[in-house]
Structure 1
């Protein structure tokens, strides 16, 4: 019995905690028990009580062996992060923001339990197993819930009105999202690509992009587990003397750099260097004037839920191609109407590869389908709509 309890999935474990009634604020939201509330008080609140407000998060950390009472240092923030990430990555749960209340004295989030997950996902996994994307990060994606086409559907007959292309798009998206969310955590796949002067980095982990730091800088700033990439010295770039001098002056101010990482709910960055860093991207506040990264403060560059929503509308022909590329500018204001991007000293482009791979996969599948339709459909058959161009 104890062994069975230890091997519960998150869904089974969490339902047991709700039914136990031992955690204040953790309760069912409806009689059907398909929605539930989970307390979500911020640790910075004056009335925050760790023993009560962090009890559920602590219990999950203990259950997963991530916290040992009396041996490990208590870390309520990390406990909460672990459960939040587990909920976001699981196909069994879906957050319902419109039901959540985060501005109350006792804030809470509401999640829906996806009852069809066990059957539908289980059947689908046998059909698409072995086709894991070579670019997606398993820790960075939550699945898009789209219908899966049945094998017996006749795409040829439906091509006249474009239904086949739409069904195919949805199938490809569902396939990729499923594999990215279900891949083992120890099977890390490339998640980011960063392009800057004289370097292109494809990373399977967090990236720290920095200037040329002094020897022994780790003893000064502490160790960093992220992949550390330094800008090349100006001498190897063969730049004009005035540009070389400017970059030589700028790089020491960037020695602590910026940390970029992918998480289940998006793409994030944190600036550590003294030199100023500016950015542009889907979530940037301004498009016509500079957006500065505040030092030592985490900034979200890409929101996963927004990207998924925009992508869903895009493949349904109801919206534009979702934006996902991020531009970073070191030491100079950006965007700046007075200077073109190419005239900046140090620009870096950050691209989450899951977005690139997803768009390319949909387009490839559509092209293959169109080629097949033209080959077997005969003359006089109307073509399906062309695939959206990136």
Structure 2
């Protein structure tokens, strides 16, 4: 008969105490927090030592047929399933990539009663991030969206088998007045153009990537503008738009490229604190938005109530933005708001359930992982 699989927590404590794994050590004197090296496999300085603890658990779990990235993911999932809380994530640290976890509360109470021994020496650790206290297992989940809605939403995002299922909701404003709204259901992206009313086809779009969805801004004769100066200046920008502004998806990033004569500027916020304009490049595709950054910020928001992630891009066509004189967006002749709808949905799910609720209560949706597990799995896929 095959040997039974050991319990994770006692096994892990034994491995930490042994000192046989480089970088795997206690992070505090009470031995309730522990450090695990967490180096990305594509780094030039990566070695077999970086995955030894993950491989060891894979071997004892009977899952050695998979690769190192799966060993790491399974190890992290096992920690979460047993109630270990991640309190520090320095996996992107150049000198010492690592994560710090905290043992489950019942194990912490037991260890507080034990004599304290000096922890195994290791690299200095940053102070743990503030965390929200875990709820009891029988605490009712208040305010969380319907389970069926949540499952359908996450499945629609392909979050269990991470891919880009990205959609865009594009709105155009002429001095703060919405003149266009269009949903782009195209994983490749879209292109912003101006087509005069008497033109049946756009030669500019014909010269661009046919895989992009065209969005045609209305002329001043198609909308109501009472101010003649505003109408004249707006039309001048539209007439020079030419080959337009491209917003494209590539890998885990959103890119921008200006092809026409009217300069375009961008930001991640409708009310930026900065007054330094950011021009969209005309020379080469420029990264404007990173899916990985969004997921990381959202995970921090869920786990510790940190900064709320942005799921939008804002473009100003023909005028500098952010404005050097802090002129509000409503005063700009042409502004575009681009919402990444799939990311907006993820944030709404997190906010509706409450950051602490989603972090501390495992949502049992069929056999699917919780939102936090799914986000971490998505992050692993994007980094691999």
- What TM-score do the two structures reach when normalised by structure 1? 0.49
Question: Which of structures 1 and 2 has the bigger CA Rg?
Answer: 2
More helix by share: 1
Q: Structure with the greater relative contact order (CA < 8 A, sep ≥ 6): 1 or 2?
A: 2
